[in-house]
């Protein structure tokens, strides 16, 4: 059957090719009538622009390139649509412009095609981010923002002949104020400044001169502070720039209305600014030391430390004098003895001028009177004697002046937080029995906390006598949240991906629902209905003829097969009959051989019995096969080693008997093994069917 079917395939293929050729010929003949059925009605018109477009679309080259053109146009439209959906990022132009300058800036940007936008709430001008720097350079070339003359530049345009002295002084003060404000603005942390000068007209007399005063208003930058040193610098700058202006007459005020001169005055309560700065620096130094010490152990992000100090800023001065510290005793350096003697005399003599005459000198060399009596005319009544003595001693003396340092540490407190260790990857965590959430970190043991505590004490110089306190605690840190993190649904990149996905989906939808059907409609060749019907009829007739041929071939094949089967059956019966005769002959021969074998076996049994009787009880357990012509002595010799062999047919012999001779030999062995069963099988084979 397989061979007959294969022989019919070439006929079928040839028939099909002929039918296709016929169909193609029919289609070609009818294409001129029904070739425009797949185009719209306005393209099938015989006149007008539709006919021209239809003729162009019917050209083979246009039909081949039209799908690619349509796909390209669709991609281009999708790209334009996607670009229009994506908003252009804008950046504000931070320029200090008034309303008039803003209008000029907008006109300049529009003329340069920068597409500026104005915020409806603040009036801020914004331009695309990609052209931000170009916009700034354009406005700078237009003179925006305008820079007005300030400071000493104002004096250049001042008229020389028509200005009064008062106006000259006012303008000079204004220029000085602006120059000082510009100088103060250069100091870090100050956003803007404004200076007011109160400079009266000075007199030529010093005692009549009026005091010059100044006030400064400053605006700090967000997040910046102005220190006392900055305030002192501003005061010195203004005082040094204005004649006859003393530093104490300069007032500095911030934009919140706070008088900043108070930062320079030591307050009676609390610490001064210098003392507070010293305390903060010391605490920061100790805190930095602790973090640097513990960071290699637990990680810099896993440790937090705070230090609180109490400093003593009391300054003590002590002056000490020590005399004879070595106990050597006093030593006399000099001695002075003075004795005063006063004599009391009465007044005697002649009253008059002579009695009032002073006494004569006692030095005889000072007068010419050598024999005069110094006591002549004097009456002595008594004498007064006064004596005094002065001794100077040398002693060892040492003077010591001691001045104590300020800022001594009187007490220190330290607090350290250690983050617990995370659980290593792959480590099994047991769930608590109470149903709580399993632990996500490994706490520190008491021994580890104590070691860290001792380490911190050694780093800060712990002293229990002055009341120092050090505390180390291990706990779990909460994860830090980045305030600048943007949620995923507000991320610009994610929004771009979503827009791209939406555009891609729209593109696929348009491609599958519109483009592909249109391309298939345009690229499908025209089909004539009559040609299709004729081709279908020819195909049906070919199929019917093929079915008849196949049926005829199958019938002939069936008859040939039946004939071959009958011949094979008869040959098989003849072969079986021949084999049965051979088997019967083999059975007869086997019967004769069996009778001879039984006689030989009886003879061997007899010899065996005689051998057993001769050998005694040792031969009862042994069995021996006696060969033909073997004597009793030979049987006895090998009786102990030989064992009887039983003939049998193995399964391998049945599987390997493929040739005729092997099968005959196998049948003979089967007949020799069991002739009765073989005879029954042969009878069953020879018996004719009922």
How high is the pLDDT of residue 3?
Answer: 39
247 against 641, higher pLDDT: 247
403 against 290, higher pLDDT: 290
Residues pairing with 117 in the sheet: 126
DSSP string over 278-295: HHHHHHHHHHHHHHHHHH
Q: How confident is the model at residue 216 (pLDDT cuts 50, 70, 90)?
A: very high
**Which of the residue ranges 48-62, 185-199, 329-343 would you say has the lowest mean pLDDT?**
48-62
DSSP string over 203-270: PSSGGGPPPEEEEEEEEEPTT----HHHHHHHHHHHHHHSTTEEEEEEEEEETTS-BGGGGGSPPSSS
How high is the pLDDT of residue 345?
Answer: 60
Burial of 135 (0-12, 13-18, 19+ CB in 10 A): buried
How high is the pLDDT of residue 42?
Answer: 59
Which residue, chain included where needed, has tokens 């062999």? 645
Which of 302, 304, 274, 301 lies closest to 288, judged by CA? 304
In angstroms, the Cα distances linking 113 to 70, 85, 132, 326 are 33, 21, 13, 100
Half-sphere exposure for 562 (CA within 13 Å, toward CB): 5
CB atoms within 10 A of CB 566: 10
pLDDT in tens, 523-547: 666 656 677 677 777 887 887 788 8
How high is the pLDDT of residue 294?
Answer: 93
Task: Give me 170's structure tokens.
Answer: 């006012």
pLDDT in tens, 33-44: 344 445 556 556
pLDDT in tens, 7-37: 333 333 333 343 443 334 333 344 443 444 4
- How far is the C-alpha of 657 from the C-alpha of 664, rounded, in Å? 9
* Strand-strand pairing, 408-419 and 469-475: parallel
Burial of 109 (0-12, 13-18, 19+ CB in 10 A): buried
CB atoms within 10 A of CB 586: 21
In angstroms, the Cα distances linking 630 to 273, 600, 643 are 140, 12, 16
How high is the pLDDT of residue 10?
Answer: 37
- How far is the C-alpha of 678 from the C-alpha of 484, rounded, in Å? 103
User: Chain centroid to CA 559: how far?
Assistant: 85
On average, the pLDDT of the chain sits at 75
Q: Looking at residues 181-189, what average pLDDT do you find?
A: 90
In degrees and rounded to multiples of 5, residue 282 shows phi and psi of -65, -40
pTM of this prediction? 0.41
pLDDT in tens, 407-441: 889 999 999 999 998 888 777 777 777 777 777 88
Q: Looking at residues 602-621, what average pLDDT do you find?
A: 61
Task: Give me 651's structure tokens.
Answer: 């399964």
Which of 262, 184, 247 lies closest to 214, judged by CA? 247
pLDDT in tens, 249-276: 999 999 989 899 887 776 555 677 778 8
Which of 501, 517, 674, 524 lies closest to 587, judged by CA? 674
Which of 455, 424, 421, 459 lies closest to 441, judged by CA? 421
* First and final C-alpha spacing in the chain: 32
In angstroms, the Cα distances linking 617 to 370, 613, 614, 620 are 203, 8, 9, 5
Q: Which residues contact 342 (CB under 8 A, 6 or more apart)?
A: 383, 384, 385, 386
Does residue 122 have a pLDDT over 60? yes
- How far is the C-alpha of 60 from the C-alpha of 66, rounded, in Å? 10
Which of 641, 642, 610, 612 lies closest to 625, judged by CA? 642
- Asked whether 522 and 66 are in contact (CB, 8 A), the reply is yes
- How far is the C-alpha of 242 from the C-alpha of 549, rounded, in Å? 130
Does residue 623 have a pLDDT over 80? no
- How far is the C-alpha of 418 from the C-alpha of 302, rounded, in Å? 6
* Strand-strand pairing, 317-323 and 303-312: unpaired
pLDDT in tens, 57-107: 777 777 777 777 877 887 787 777 766 666 778 888 877 787 888 888 899
42 against 678, higher pLDDT: 678
Report the number of secondary-structure helices (H) and strands (E) in the chain: 16, 15
How high is the pLDDT of residue 69?
Answer: 80
Q: Which residues contact 25 (CB under 8 A, 6 or more apart)?
A: none
Residues pairing with 414 in the sheet: 307, 470
């Amino acid at each position: 059957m397989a061979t007959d079917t294969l022989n019919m395939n070439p006929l079928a293929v040839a028939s099909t090719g002929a039918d296709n050729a016929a169909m193609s010929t029919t289609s070609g003949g009818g294409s001129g009538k029904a070739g425009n059925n797949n185009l719209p009605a306005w393209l099938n018109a015989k006149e007008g622009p539709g006919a021209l477009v239809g003729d162009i679309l019917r050209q083979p080259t246009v039909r081949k390139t039209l799908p690619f053109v349509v796909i390209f146009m669709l991609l281009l439209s999708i790209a334009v649509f996607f670009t229009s959906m994506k908003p252009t990022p804008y950046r504000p132009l931070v320029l200090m412009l008034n309303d008039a300058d803003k209008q000029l800036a907008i006109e300049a940007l529009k003329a340069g095609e920068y597409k500026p936008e104005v915020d409806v709430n603040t009036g801020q001008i914004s331009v695309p981010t990609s052209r931000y720097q170009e916009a700034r350079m354009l406005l700078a070339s237009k003179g925006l923002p305008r820079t007005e003359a300030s400071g000493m530049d104002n004096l250049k345009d001042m008229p020389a002949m028509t200005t009064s002295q008062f106006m000259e002084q006012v303008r000079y003060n204004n220029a000085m104020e602006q120059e000082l404000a510009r100088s103060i603005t250069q100091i870090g942390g100050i956003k803007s400044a404004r200076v007011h000068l109160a400079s009266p007209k000075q007199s030529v007399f010093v005692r009549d001169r009026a005091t010059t005063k100044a006030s400064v208003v400053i605006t700090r930058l967000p997040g910046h502070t102005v220190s006392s040193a900055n305030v002192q610098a501003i005061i010195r700058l203004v005082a040094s720039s204005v004649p006859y202006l003393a530093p104490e007459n300069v007032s500095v005020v911030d934009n919140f209305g706070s008088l900043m001169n108070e930062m320079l005055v030591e307050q009676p309560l609390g610490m001064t600014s210098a003392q507070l700065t010293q305390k903060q620096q010391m605490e920061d130094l100790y805190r930095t030391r602790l973090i640097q010490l513990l960071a290699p152990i637990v990680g810099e992000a896993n440790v937090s430390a705070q230090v609180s100090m109490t400093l003593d800023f009391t300054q003590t001065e002590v002056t000490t004098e020590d005399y004879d510290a070595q106990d050597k005793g006093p030593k006399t350096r000099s001695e002075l003895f003075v004795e005063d003697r006063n004599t009391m005399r009465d007044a005697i003599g002649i009253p008059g001028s002579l009695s009032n005459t002073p006494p004569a000198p006692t030095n005889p060399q000072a007068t010419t009177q050598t024999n005069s009596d110094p006591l002549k005319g004097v009456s002595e009544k008594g004498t007064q004697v006064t004596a005094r003595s002065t001794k100077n001693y040398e002693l060892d003396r040492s003077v010591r002046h001691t001045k104590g340092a300020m800022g001594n540490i009187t007490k220190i407190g330290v607090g350290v937080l250690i983050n617990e260790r995370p659980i290593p990857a792959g480590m099994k965590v047991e769930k608590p029995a109470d149903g709580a959430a399993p632990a996500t970190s490994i706490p520190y043991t008491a021994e580890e906390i104590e070691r860290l505590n001792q380490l911190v004490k050694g780093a800060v110089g712990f002293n229990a006598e002055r009341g120092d306190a050090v505390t180390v605690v291990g706990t779990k840190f909460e994860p830090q949240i980045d305030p600048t993190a943007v949620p995923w649904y507000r991320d610009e990149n994610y929004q771009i991906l979503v827009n791209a996905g939406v555009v891609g989906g729209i593109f696929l939808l348009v491609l599958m629902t519109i483009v592909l059907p249109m391309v298939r409609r345009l690229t499908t060749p025209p089909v004539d209905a009559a040609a299709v019907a004729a081709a279908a009829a020819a195909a049906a007739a070919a199929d019917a003829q093929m079915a008849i041929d196949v049926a005829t071939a199958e019938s002939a094949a069936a008859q040939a097969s039946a004939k071959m089967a009958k011949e094979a059956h008869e040959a098989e019966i003849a072969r079986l009959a021949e084999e049965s005769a051979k088997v019967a002959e083999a059975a007869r021969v086997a019967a004769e051989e069996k009778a001879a074998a039984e006689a030989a076996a009886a003879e061997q049994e007899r010899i065996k019995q005689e051998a057993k009787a001769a050998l005694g009880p040792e031969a009862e357990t042994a069995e021996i096969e006696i060969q033909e012509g073997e004597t009793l002595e030979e049987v006895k010799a090998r009786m102990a080693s030989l064992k009887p062999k039983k003939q049998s047919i193995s399964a391998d012999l049945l599987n390997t008997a493929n040739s005729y001779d092997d099968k005959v030999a196998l049948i003979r062995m089967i007949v020799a093994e069991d002739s009765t069963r073989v005879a029954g099988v042969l009878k069953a084979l020879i018996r004719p069917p009922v």
